[in-house]
Structure 1
Amino acid sequence: MNLPSSPVHKIPESVLVVIHTPDLQVLMLERADRPGFWQSVTGSKDTLTELPCDTARREVSEETGIRIGELRDWQLVNVYEIYPVWRHRYAPGVTHNTEHVFGLCVAADTPVTLAPREHLQYRWLPWVQAADLCFSPSNAEAILHLPKLLETPA
């Protein structure tokens, strides 16, 4: 007996993780499904109960192989319209996504192992160049906040 399969839709809540070194080199990834589109680590929650910090750790591990570093919740939340080309992944009528922004500081020599189905290549770039390369405005804005977010109070 064949049971009808129900469609699985992405949860419209995600994370953006800006991976950087102490000297503000930022890891940029080129999307496999959109060559020429560069971004930081991103990904949606797998379940409604998954915490954003757990989503961030999982996505970093899946997309880069990085399992170490200091993950910080930047307390930034973006709500943006989902690009029409990707709306089919979400339930009918869903047009906006809520994105939680994190930073992950790693050593400059941290090895990166890309998930080939997700990314074609990576680059470490100075933070301003990384922001300029982003196709996503919220990603570029997060990177531009990097120096201020890393300042420590005197």
Structure 2
Amino acid sequence: MTRPFKIPLSVLVVIHTPQLDVLLINRADSPGHWQSVTGSKDREDEPFEKTAAREVMEETGIDCAAGRLVDWNLENVYDIYPNYLHRYAPGVVRNREHVFGLTVPAGTPVTLNPREHTAYQWLTWRKAADTCFSPSNAEAILMLPEFI
């Protein structure tokens, strides 16, 4: 069965505690690539908030109802990494990413989807920004104190 092409509209969700510890997850397809929760819309008309809640649940097992999901009203537009271009329709080379924050209590349990991620860690926000492989993800984490 052929998978449909990914929609180049996605979310980035910075999951953090009130103390500004940030959850990072390690990509299964790119060991050593630590990131926040990301994911594309399933349908063009899917609201970004719904995409964010779905991706958080799929990737971490965290229910957004257990925390506070906040739309940061920020978007990043970036070139899709060449090794991921095959997931998109021919000619699609840029993605638009909408940014959210999710505040959760310290000690919130994390259950990874092993097809997508192999490990997780909670880091201070500055250390998390230094650990991210994605510049837009690191930049969002560095902005975290502004959204608290």
TM, length-normalised to structure 2 = 0.96
User: Cα deviations across residues 15-50 of structure 1 (Å, max 9, x unaligned)?
Assistant: 000000000000000000000000000000001110
Q: How does 1:23-38 map to 2 (within 5 A)?
A: 23-38=19-34
Report the Cα offset of residue 8 of structure 1: 1.3
Q: How does 1:1-154 map to 2 (within 5 A)?
A: 8-67=4-63, 68-150=66-148
Question: Following superposition, which runs of at least 4 residues in structure 1 exceed 2 angstroms of deviation?
Answer: none
User: Cα deviations across residues 123-147 of structure 1 (Å, max 9, x unaligned)?
Assistant: 0000000000000000000000001
Q: Structure 2: give runs of 5+ residues left out of the alignment.
A: none
Instruction: Kindly provide the amino acid, as one letter, of the partner of residue 125 in structure 2.
Output: W
Instruction: Kindly provide the amino acid, as one letter, of the partner of residue 11 in structure 2.
Output: V
Distance 1:134 1:33 in 2: 15
Count of matched residue pairs: 146
SS in 2 for 1:141: helix
Structure with the greater alpha carbon radius of gyration: 1
SS in 2 for 1:17: strand
What's the % identity of the aligned pairs?
Answer: 66
Distance 2:51 2:2 in 1: 24
Instruction: Kindly provide the amino acid, as one letter, of the partner of residue 7 in structure 2.
Output: I
TM, length-normalised to structure 1 = 0.93
Report the Cα offset of residue 149 of structure 1: 1.5
SS in 1 for 2:98: strand
Instruction: Kindly provide the amino acid, as one letter, of the partner of residue 13 in structure 1.
Output: L
Report the Cα offset of residue 148 of structure 1: 1.3
RMSD, aligned CA: 1.0
